Amino acid sequence: MKSESLEERPAAVHRGGGAKRAGEIRDRWNWVEATVWTDRMLTALEEGVKGGKWYSLMDKVYALANLRSAFKKVKANEGAAGVDHQTIEMFEHQLEENLEKLSRSLREGSYRPQAIRRVWIPKVGSKEKRPLGIPTIRDRVVESALLNVLEPIFEKEFAEQSYGFRPNRGCKEALRRVDQLLRQGKTWVVDVDVRSYFDTIPHERLMERVQERVADGRVLELLRAFLRQSVMETAKDWSPEEGTPQGAVMTPPTQ
């Protein structure tokens, strides 16, 4: 399939009041990474791209400006070192050099995620423990950069009544909606929990859904590489065939 860049096929921009309209769109998407999502891309996001798929996204992932922003998020979230024992402070000590290496390896296709360090933490309200995966700092930076590119594409399609792990949404917004529904006389609640959900997500079915909107082969391979990251637990090293690691940047945080 011939690869086309977004710039080769943008959604139509209406003449007249373009700057004002672009500003309104930007306001609606004020949480996106501005170094990635230009006004032109946000317009295409709202109006739709040809065939419903996004092409040529990898250059946005490895852009140094995106990687710098990704590191800031990783640093803000703190967290322990991965299997390479490199801390956030150590990575930051040679930040530009490390980011340039990551950018180059992503651009050349030589980047490979390192193993995830697995630890077990207490499960809230239970005597059980749940696994927590700790990627290396370099991998967390790349995951954050990838998330900066992909999240708006799928956020656009999520259900309006969904509040978990979404930008500008959370428990307070969900509670306000519950209060509205109660005032409308709707008092039934259905409580459902899927056991070990994140540990059993089928990789291929997940990738099929991603491919409905993303057609950049290099981005898809990078995402597959993160799904297949080996897990290091004590002296053992194994590769998962399903599930996503709780604790990774692209997986909702462990509760």
Report the C-alpha gap between 135 and 126 in whole angstroms: 26
As to burial, measured by CB atoms within 10 angstroms (0-12 exposed, 13-18 middle, 19+ buried), residue 219 is buried
**Tokens for 2?**
């011939």
Q: Which residue has the higher pLDDT, 77 or 232?
A: 77
Please count the other Cβ atoms lying within 10 Å of the Cβ belonging to residue 43.
19
**Tokens for 191?**
């409580």
Reported pTM:
0.81
- Mean pLDDT throughout 40-65? 95
What would the pLDDT profile of 164-191 be if each residue is shown by its tens digit? 888 888 899 999 999 999 999 999 988 8
Supply the pLDDT for residue 246: 54
What would the pLDDT profile of 133-150 be if each residue is shown by its tens digit? 899 999 999 999 999 999
Supply the pLDDT for residue 90: 97
Q: What is the DSSP letter of 2?
A: -
Supply the pLDDT for residue 241: 54
Q: Which residue has the higher pLDDT, 12 or 178?
A: 178
- Mean pLDDT throughout 106-128? 88
Candidates 244, 231, 161, 135; CA nearest to 196 is 244
Range with lowest mean pLDDT among 12-26, 102-116, 181-195: 12-26
Supply the pLDDT for residue 248: 59
Report the C-alpha gap between 251 and 255 in whole angstroms: 12
What would the pLDDT profile of 78-99 be if each residue is shown by its tens digit? 999 999 999 999 999 999 999 9
Report the C-alpha gap between 150 and 37 in whole angstroms: 10
Of all residues in the chain, the percent with pLDDT exceeding 70 is 84
Supply the pLDDT for residue 165: 84
Where residue 125 falls among pLDDT bands split at 50, 70, 90? confident
What would the pLDDT profile of 156-166 be if each residue is shown by its tens digit? 899 888 888 88
Please answer whether residues 5 and 56 qualify as being in contact, where contact means their C-beta atoms are separated by less than 8 angstroms.
yes
**14 has a pLDDT exceeding 70:** no
- Mean pLDDT throughout 41-47? 94
Where residue 9 falls among pLDDT bands split at 50, 70, 90? very low
**46 has a pLDDT exceeding 50:** yes
